[in-house]
Structure 1
Amino acid sequence: MTGLIGLTNLGVMTEPEISLAEQTARAIAQVHRRPVSLRKWEVTSAEGVLRGAKLSALIDAVPAETAISVYSLLAPDLVESSARIFLRSPLQILAKMDVLAGGDGKPVTNVSALQQLAHIVVQRPENLAGIAHGVIAHYGCFGSRSGVIARGCARLAAVAVGNDPRGLTVPEVYLHRHSSEYAAAVAGFASDPKDFLDLQLRAFLAGAAEAEAIARLA
């Protein structure tokens, strides 16, 4: 398996990549500044987590209860502590997610990929959410549970490094709508991580729009 450490330094971003990253950051910041997101963020976050979990289940055709269980670590009363533990001990959080998904907490393959991911996590790169998502999904570290764990971990990583501090966005909306493109990007992650990371940004941009819709109804 090719080393993963280089994922923290993928070279100079192109102008379109910079534009997309900035657009996504602005959209997420905007929804966080909404009065309802400041006053009742627990309500909007909980709804976003539930919607994301249900869509995540549909992507892999797993029971909704399984995804909701994994995503419980993103619940408003747990997300901050989950994020802290993830940055300090990412493998502990991944093991817990696997148990919540019905596994025994141990990876079934490509353990070295998770070990390298753990080294990347402590560096806290800005694109950590995409890296974690891509590694877990592509290498299938937790077997059939890898997809839902990868998506839950991506959202937790976005909280942990400050991309989405309160976990309001719902990137699963985009991933579900573009499931074929998503599957292709996952399959090609090892050879073309930039393509996957670009898709991740688009997913979070769409997820911010979904968060705006949730805020308007709160």
Structure 2
Amino acid sequence: MRAREALAAVHRRPVNLRRPEITGAEAVLRGARAGALIDGADVTLGETMEESSVLARHIDVYSLLAPEVVQDTARVFLRSPLQVLARMDVLAGGTGRPDRAAGELSVLAATVTSGADPDLLPGVIHGQLLSVSPFGQRTGVIARAASRLAAVAGGFDPRGLAVPEPWLNRHRAEYLAAGEAFGTGSHGVERFLVLHMRSYIAGAEEAQGIAAAL
């Protein structure tokens, strides 16, 4: 699989073998900033979180992916995914309870705890959340953060170095349409999973750029 090979190459970079927390921290920040743009923040990637409430909320949610806490968060996610999603919703400005589709969230939680394919699980979580939108306007950032967390937890991207969000932002219309189509049947699922893998291939390239700059 091209995405896994690209991610493995990033993890073998000398700087990522010695100090993965440095590149991991930059990957989290870049992901939060690009995700804010996807959700309509009127900011540039160089602005600080104080300059955009949308960006601030994204950075708050993505703080659960910070190198110093991501492994602990991932372990909780594999045991109690709904607990982590609730925490993300609070950080995104919600109450910690879904606005709708509570039943679909329970099905998603069962998929996580049942030991699903670790390469596909991040995309399944991402697409399912986008398609049912349980947290309203907060769903996008939660879906992207939960997807990245699943990639860490299952070993697809064990240190969270990839940055798929810039690619998703550049292909925003295609991405959002594929998310809506996820729940329409097997074709919709396949469409989103292919797009998700493409974003991770590009995300590995972004991570290579981070490593090269250090």
Paired residue for 1:96?
Answer: 87
Q: Deviations over 1:106-165 (max 9, x none)?
A: 000001110000000012322110111011111110011000000000000000100000
Q: Deviations over 1:158-205 (max 9, x none)?
A: 001000000000010110010010011011001210100110000011
CA RMSD in angstroms, aligned pairs only: 0.7
- Report the Cα distance in structure 1 between the residues aligned to 2:87 and 2:129, rounded to whole angstroms: 14
Paired residue for 1:152?
Answer: 145
Q: Deviations over 1:19-60 (max 9, x none)?
A: xxx111100000000000011110000000000000001101
From 144, 150, 156, the counterpart of 1:163: 156
Paired residue for 1:199?
Answer: 195
Paired residue for 2:173?
Answer: 180
Output the amino acid matched with 1:54: R
Paired residue for 2:32?
Answer: 53
Percent sequence identity over matched residues?
Answer: 52
From 102, 109, 130, the counterpart of 1:111: 102
- Report the Cα distance in structure 2 between the residues aligned to 1:184 and 1:69, rounded to whole angstroms: 26
Structure 1 length as normaliser, TM-score?
0.89
Paired residue for 2:46?
Answer: none
- Report the Cα distance in structure 2 between the residues aligned to 1:27 and 1:103, rounded to whole angstroms: 35
- Report the Cα distance in structure 2 between the residues aligned to 1:124 and 1:148, rounded to whole angstroms: 24
Structure 2 length as normaliser, TM-score?
0.91
How many residue pairs are counted as aligned between the two chains? Answer: 197
After the TM superposition, which segments of 4 or more aligned residues of structure 1 sit over 3 Å from their partners? none
Give yes or no for the alignment of 1:31 onto 2:10: yes
- Report the Cα distance in structure 2 between the residues aligned to 1:193 and 1:121, rounded to whole angstroms: 17
- Report the Cα distance in structure 1 between the residues aligned to 2:39 and 2:115, rounded to whole angstroms: 28
Question: Which structure 2 residues correspond to residues 8-47 of structure 1 after superposition, within 5 A?
Answer: 22-47=1-26
Q: Deviations over 1:87-120 (max 9, x none)?
A: 0000000000000001010000001110000000
- Report the Cα distance in structure 2 between the residues aligned to 1:24 and 1:136, rounded to whole angstroms: 22
Output the amino acid matched with 1:128: L
- Report the Cα distance in structure 2 between the residues aligned to 1:124 and 1:105, rounded to whole angstroms: 25
- SS of the residue corresponding to residue 189 of structure 1 reads helix
- Report the Cα distance in structure 2 between the residues aligned to 1:195 and 1:60, rounded to whole angstroms: 21
- Report the Cα distance in structure 2 between the residues aligned to 1:157 and 1:106, rounded to whole angstroms: 20
Paired residue for 1:129?
Answer: 122
Q: Deviations over 1:60-80 (max 9, x none)?
A: 124111100000000001100
Output the amino acid matched with 2:139: S
